[in-house]
Amino acid sequence: MTSSVDFDTVLPDAPPQVNMRKVAVASVIGTTVEWYDLFIFATASALVFNKIFFPSFDALIGTLLAFGTFASAYGARIFGAALFGHFGDRLGRKSMLLISLLAMGLSTFAIGLLPDYASIGIWAPISLLTLRLIQGLALGGEWGGAVLMAVEHAPKNKRGLYGSWVQIGVPVGTLLANLAFLAIAALLTPEDLLNWGWRIPFLASALLIAIGLYIRLNIHETPVFKETKANEPQVRVPLLEIARKHWKQVLLGGVATMSTGSSFNIIVAFGLTYGTQTLGFSRSVMLSVVLVSCALCIVLLPAFGALSDRFGRKPVIIAGIVAEAVVAIPMFMLMDTKSLPLVFLGYGLLMTAFAANYGPIATFLAELFGTRVRYSGLSVAYMLSGLLGSATTPIVTTALLSWTGKGSSVAWYMIGSALISLLALLLLSETFKQDLKSTPIKTK
C-alpha cells in the first residue's frame, strides 16, 4: 500500500544533504522508542505492576492503582509540551528531540532497576510514579518535535503522508512492547516473570535509545523554522501567545483527537485485561491479538495519510471517528463469543477505524498553527487529547466493567468519546491546502 512512496525525494528548499528518507526514518525510530517505553509500562500495569508495587490491595484496586500511575504521565505531558514547545519554537526542533529522547530512555531504564514493594515498601510505588512523570514530560516534547521534523521538511502535497509516518511509532512501539512481554512470558515461569522477568523489556530499551540518538544526530533543522527565525521576530513566550490568540485551535484540536486515545487504549490496555480476566484467554493469546492488530495498523497509517493529501484531512479523520463509533459494540460482541478468529476480526475492525482517524491527525494539528508557535500549539493540543482520552480510558473502562460486568458498557463509552471528538472536529476548518509559512487558520 505504500510501495509508491519516494523516500529519496530531496526537497527543493532544503539543504542538498537532507532527504525525506532520512527524515522519515528519524521520525519513526524516535517515536517508536518513546512509545515502546510508554507501552511497556502500560502492558506491565495490566499484567504485573498491581502485584509488584501494590500488593497490599485486592486485585481490582491494585489494577486501578497501577493504571492510575500509568495515567499520571498524561498530566506531566502537558507541562512537557509547554516546556519543550517553548524552547522548540525559540531554539529549534532538533535539540528538543534529542533531549526528550534521552530523558525518556534514562527514566525507562531506571524503572527496570526499581526495587519492589517487598523490598522498600511505599518508596517503591513513589519511585515508580516519579519515573513515570519524567516519561510523561519527555513525551510531551518528543511527539510534537517529531511531527514537525517530518511535516516541515515534506513537500506540500505529501505532508499528510510524511506526518503519518511519525504516527507509525505508536503501533510499532506497542508491537515491540507486547512482543517483549510475549517472549518473556513464553520463556519464563509466572514466578520468574513476577520476580525479575518483567524488568527485561525496560532494560532492553537502552539499545533502542542508542539507535534513536545516533539517527537523530544526523538530521538537520527544518527549513521552515530556519527561514522564519531568520526573517520574522520570535515570539517571546509561545505558550502565552497560543493562550491569547489560538486557544480555540488548541482546545478544539485536543478534543477532536481525544477518541484516538480512547480507542487505542481500549485495544492495547483494556482489551488485554478484559480478554484475560473476563473472557479467560491466556496472556500469550491476547498479546498475540494485539501484535497482529498493530501490524495491520502499521500498513494502514501511511495509506490514510496519503488519502488525506488527496481528499483533505477532515474527510478521512471524520470517516475514522464515525467508524470507531460504529464498530464499538460489534467489537465487544465478537469478543464475547470467545471465538479467537472473531476476536481477531473485532480488533481488526477497530484498528482500521483508529488508523483512519490517527493517520492524518498529526499533520492536521500541525497545520492549525503558524511556524513561530507551531511546536507549542501542536504539542499542547495533542497532549490535551491524551489527558482527555488516553489517561482516563483505562481507569474508566476498568470501573465500568466492575460495575456492570459487561463489555457493552465500555463500547458506549467509546461511542461517546467519538461523538465528542466529531463535534470538535466539525468546528475546525480544513487545513491540507494551508501554507505552513502563512498565518494560522481560524476556527469556523
The dihedral sign for the CA sequence 435, 439, 443, 444? negative
d(Cα 299, Cα 155) in Å, to the nearest integer? Answer: 22
DSSP label of 195: I
Say if residue 192's pLDDT is above 90.
no
Closest of 233, 84, 206, 218 to residue 144, by C-alpha: 84
Instruction: Compute the distance between CA of residue 267 and CA of residue 293 in angstroms, rounded to an integer.
Output: 9
Least confident range of 282-286, 288-292, 314-318, 391-395: 391-395
Q: What is the pLDDT of residue 46?
A: 66
**434 neighbors 441 (Cβ within 8 angstroms):** yes
- Tell me the three cell numbers of residue 363: 499533520
Q: What is the pLDDT of residue 43?
A: 72
- Closest to 216 (Cα-Cα) out of 15, 23, 11: 23
pTM: 0.85
Chain-centre distance for alpha carbon 219: 22
Task: Give the residue carrying C-alpha cell 502492558.
Answer: 43
Cα–Cα distance for residue pair 389/69, rounded to 1 Å: 15
pLDDT digits (tens, 9 = 90+) for 212-254: 888 888 888 888 898 888 888 888 999 999 999 999 999 999 9
Instruction: Give per-residue pLDDT as tens, 123-145.
Output: 888 888 888 888 888 888 889 99
Residue with cell 502485584: 51
> 313-358, pLDDT tens digit by residue?
999 999 999 999 999 999 999 999 999 999 999 999 999 999 999 9
pLDDT tens for each residue of 13-28: 444 445 688 888 888 8
- Three-state SS string over 56-112 comes to CCCHHHHHHHHHHHHHHHHHHHHHHHHHHHHHHHHCCHHHHHHHHHHHHHHHHHHHC
Closest CA relative to residue 65, chosen from 405, 385, 394: 394
Cβ contact 363:164 at 8 Å: yes
Q: Which three cell numbers stand for residue 304?
A: 490514510
Residue length of the chain = 444
Q: How far is 149 from 130, CA to CA, in rounded Å?
A: 29
C-alpha–C-alpha distance, residues 135 and 74, integer Å: 9
Q: Are 440 and 370 in contact (CB under 8 A)?
A: yes
Task: Tell whether the model's pLDDT for residue 58 goes beyond 80.
Answer: no
CA angle 27, 315, 252 (to 5 degrees): 70
| Measured distance CA(132)–CA(107) in Å, rounded | 8
Tell which wins on pLDDT, 297 or 274.
297
C-alpha to C-alpha distance for 262 and 251, rounded to whole angstroms:
17
Q: What is the pLDDT of residue 417?
A: 95
